[in-house]
Chains A and B, each alone.
Chain A
Amino acid sequence: MTRSVPQSRFLAPATLAAIHDLRLVARRVVEGFLAGEHVDRRPGAGIEFSQYRGFEPGDDPRTIDWRAYARSDRFYVREAEVERDITVRLVLDATASMAHEDGGVRKLDYGRMLTAALAYLADRQGDRVSFHAVLDGTTADLPARRGRRGLRRVLHRLEGIAPSGAWPPWETLGRRITNVREKELVVVVGDLYDRGPEMRRGLATLRTLGHEVLVLHLMARNELDFTYRGDLAFEDLETGAIVRGNAEAMRPGYLERLGASLERWRVELLEAGVTYELLALDRPLDLALRSFLLRRGRLP
C-alpha cells in the first residue's frame, strides 16, 4: 500500500547527477521514497518472532513451541516474519546510445542512479543483488550476493561504467542473466535501442521461466518531445550514422514513429506479462522504486 508523498522530497535527477557519491545518491533517493511507503510484511515461517497462535490440524508439528507447551500445557505455534529471501537481478544498458544527453544529464547517469537506488533498496529489504552492465556487445557481471559488501561492489562497479558498444545478441546475454533454479526479480534499465527483436525475445524468455521482469525504459525529454530547432545533423551514438534535416520539418514524422514504437513496446510487454515503465530523464526516481516494490511483492 502506498500513500501520497510530497514531490519535494525527491531531488531532481539533474541535482542528483551532481553528487559524485553514488551511495549517497542511492540512500538519499531510497530514504526519501520509503518515508512515504508501508513496507509489505506477511507472517509465516522465519527467524524474527511475530506472534503465538493455537495449533490447528494441518500445522506442521515441528512448528509447536514446546516451551510454551511446558508453561501452559497447550499447543502453541510460534509464528515469525516471513523471510523473503529473493534475488534481484539488475541489468543496466551501458551501450553507446546511453550517452544521449538532455539538460546536462546523460541517460547512463540517470540509469546509474536508478540502479544504485534499486540496489540500495533491495539490500535494505535483505535481498540478494546481482548486477549486469550490458556494454560493448557483452556484459560485466557481479554474481548475486547479500549484505553491505555486495551493495558496495555493485556501487563500485556502477561508478566505473562508461557507455560503449551495442546491445549483444540474446545468445550471449541470456546465458549470463538467466537463472533456471529459482525465481528472481529481473530489472532491466535502458533505452531499448536494440537492433532486431533481441530484447523482446529475451524478456519473453525470462517471463516464461517464471521470473518477475520489470523494464524501466529511459527516454530523454528532447527525445520524447523532439525539442530540437533549426537545421541540424543528427548523429547516431551507436552506429555513427548521420541524418541531416530541419528539426521542425522532421518533428511530425518523428513523433509519429516514436509514439508507435513506444506503444508497441507497451503492448507487447504487457502481453508477455512484463511490467513496463517509461521514465523521462527529468522525472524523479520514485516512480521506478514504487514499481520495483510492487513487482517484488508478487514474488512468493
Chain B
Amino acid sequence: MSWAGWASPAWLGALGLLAVPIAVHLLSRGRQRRVRVGSVRWLAPAATARARRLRLARRGLLALRCLVLALVAAALAGPRLTFPAGPGARDWVLVAPEVAAERGRLEAANREPYARLDALLAGGAPLRWLAPGAGAGELATPPPAPAADSWSLVQEASRAAPPAVAFEVFALDRAASLRGARPQIDRQVVWHAVVDPAPNRWIERAVPLAGSRLAVFVGESDPAGTRYRRLDVAAGAAARDGELEVAVEDGPEGRRAFVIGGGSLAADDALAVPQREPPGAAILFAAERAADAAYVQAGLEAVRDSGAVALGAVRPLALGAAAAEPSRQDLGGPEPAALVFWLSPDPVPAALRESVTAGGVLVSDQLARSEPCDCVVRPLAGGLPVRFDRRGDPDPPLAAAAALWEDRHGRPLLEAERLGDGAWLRLHSRFHPAWTDLVLSPAFPAWLLELASDASPAASARIAPSDRRAAPDQATPRRAAAGAAAPDAPGAQTGRWLWLGAAALLALERRVAAGTPA
C-alpha cells in the first residue's frame, strides 16, 4: 500500500476548524467568572489531585475533539491509497498515436517526456495506444487513428485495466483533444503533456465582399495564446500578411477552398462560401435628398468593408435616373438588393413594396408633416444614445407597424412592418444631420450592420474545426473525487474507515465530556 494523495484536497482546508476547539479551550482556561459569596471560609484553593485530573481530562477532551475534526476533514478530502497489484500486473503506458508518429518533429521540444517513455518501455512496461479500440502495440508502428477526445480514451482504458494499475499517459496538449468534462478515474494517472511548438492556423471565417473578394479571418494559436488576423483575398488569388499567406481557390459545389501557407504548412479548409457576389444595397433618393443618400452610402460601405457581414456593392440611384417603378430585383446587381433605402417625399412605389415580400429590408424616410422634436433614443440596446431634432408622421400611417424607437411622448420615430419574408422600416425623420445626430454617430453603422445581418445570407455555413492550444491547467487531468469513486474502490474504503473512526471517537468524546465538568 502506498500513498497516492487526496481526491479532494480542498477539503483539507476544513482543518482550519481545529482552531475552534483550541480557542474555546484557551478561552475557558483563561477566563474565570467572579462569584460574590457570603464567605469563602469553607473554600480551599483547588490545587488538589482532582483539579489536576480535571485539567488532564480537559486536555484529553481537546485532543479527542481535534482528532474527530481532523478525521472528518480527512474523510471529506478522500485519501487515496494504492494497493499492490497482483503478481505480474504492471502500470500501463498510454501513448497518443500522433506522439509516436510526429516524434521527429516534437522530440526536440519534449526531451523529458520522450526520455520517460523510452525508459518505461525499456523496463518492460506494456505500451497501449491512446486511440479508440486500440490495444497494445509497438511504438514504431502507430495505428492510423484519428484524433479523438483524450479524456474519454483514458476513461475507456481505465475500465479495461485491472484495479490498482496506474497509468502514464503521453498525449499532445491540444485543447481539441481535451474537450468535455474530465472523467472521474479511480486510479493514479501521471500525465505527460507533449508540447507542439509549431503554431497552428485555421480559417475561422470567410465573408464575401463585393467584386468576388473575400474577407478571410485566420486563427493562429501557439502556446503563447490565440490571435486572429484578417486578409482580404480575391477569389483565385492569394494574399499575404507577414509570413502568413492565404490562397482562395474555387472548389466544387459552390464551395471555396483555402490554402494556408507561410511558415509551416497547415491543412486546408473548405468553407461553404458562395462563389457569387453577395446581395448588395441600393439607395433611391430624390434630388433634394442627395445629402441624405451620401450619409447612408457612407454608413453602408463602412459595414461592407468591415467584413462582418456579407454585403455586396452599395449603389446610390437618383430617382430621376431610376426606373419609374423600380423593384428590389432590379437594384442589387446580380442578386436582388438586400437593403433598399427610399429617400424621397414621394410614396414608396407599390412594385418596390411587393418585391420586398420575398426577402430583404426596405427603409424609407417618407414624411408628410414635420415638427421640432427634442428626444434621445438608443438605436441598439445598450448602445450609444442618438438625438433627434425634428420628426414627422407618414401619411397614411402604417396599419400593422410596431414602433421600434419612440420619443418621450410615445410618438414613434422608427416603425417596422413585416412584408412577407421582408420588412419595411419607416423613419419618422430624415438621415440628415439637421434632423438627427444618427448619421454622425458610431451607432449608425452599427445599426446598419444589424439591418444587413438580418437581410443577408450567412457568411459561411460552417466554422472550421479549430485546434487551439490547451491552457496550462487543461493539460493536467483532474483526480477522481471521493464521492464519484466506485463503491468498492480502495480509496472509498479508506474514507469509510475514517468516517467510522470519527464516529467512534465522537462517541468517546461525548462519554468523556459527560463525566468531565465544564
A and B interact physically: yes
A residues engaging B (CB < 8 A)? 97-101, 107, 191, 193, 220, 223, 228-239, 241-250, 252-254, 257-258, 261
Q: Which residues of A contact B517 (CB under 8 A)?
A: 229-230, 246-248
In the docked arrangement, what's the CA distance between A101 and B36, Å? 8
Known: A233-B32, A245-B51, A252-B50. 11 other contacts (CB 8 A): A97-B39, A229-B517, A230-B28, A232-B32, A232-B33, A233-B34, A236-B38, A239-B40, A242-B40, A249-B50, A250-B46
B28, B42, B54: the one contacting A248 at CB < 8 Å is: B54
* A193–B39 touching, CB < 8 Å: yes
* B37–A229 touching, CB < 8 Å: no
Interface CB pairs A-B, < 8 A, 27? A97-B38, A100-B36, A100-B38, A193-B39, A228-B35, A230-B28, A230-B33, A230-B518, A232-B32, A232-B34, A233-B33, A234-B43, A237-B38, A239-B40, A242-B40, A243-B40, A245-B44, A245-B45, A245-B51, A246-B46, A246-B517, A248-B50, A249-B46, A253-B44, A254-B42, A257-B42, A258-B42
B29: interface (CB < 8 Å) = yes
Q: How far is the CB of A211 from chain B (nearest CB, A)?
A: 27
* A245–B43 touching, CB < 8 Å: yes
User: Quick one: which of A98, A100, A245 has the most chain B CB within 10 A?
Assistant: A245
Within 8 A of A (CB), among B194-247: none
Q: How far is the CB of A196 from chain B (nearest CB, A)?
A: 12
B48: interface (CB < 8 Å) = yes
Q: Which residues of B contact A241 (CB under 8 A)?
A: 40
* B50–A237 touching, CB < 8 Å: no
Q: Which residues of B contact A100 (CB under 8 A)?
A: 36-38
* B46–A236 touching, CB < 8 Å: no
Q: How far is the CB of B244 from chain A (nearest CB, A)?
A: 80
Interface bracket on B: 20 to 34
Given A231-B28, A246-B517; A99-B36 close (CB under 8 Å):
yes
* B518–A237 touching, CB < 8 Å: no
Within 8 A of A (CB), among B463-518: 517-518
Q: How far is the CB of B515 from chain A (nearest CB, A)?
A: 11
* B40–A223 touching, CB < 8 Å: no
In the docked arrangement, what's the CA distance between A239 and B40, Å? 9
* A229–B42 touching, CB < 8 Å: no
* A236–B54 touching, CB < 8 Å: no
Residue of A nearest to B44 (CB): A253
* B35–A234 touching, CB < 8 Å: yes
B32, B33, B39: the one contacting A236 at CB < 8 Å is: B39
* B45–A244 touching, CB < 8 Å: yes
Q: How far is the CB of A115 from chain B (nearest CB, A)?
A: 18
Given A230-B517, A230-B518; A244-B37 close (CB under 8 Å):
no
In the docked arrangement, what's the CA distance between A247 and B31, Å? 14
Which 9 pairs show the lowest CB-CB distances between chains A and B?
A245-B46, A100-B38, A97-B38, A248-B517, A249-B46, A249-B51, A257-B42, A236-B40, A243-B43
User: Quick one: which of B37, B38, B44 has the most chain A CB within 10 A?
Assistant: B38
In the docked arrangement, what's the CA distance between A237 and B41, Å? 11
* A237–B42 touching, CB < 8 Å: no
In the docked arrangement, what's the CA distance between A245 and B33, Å? 10
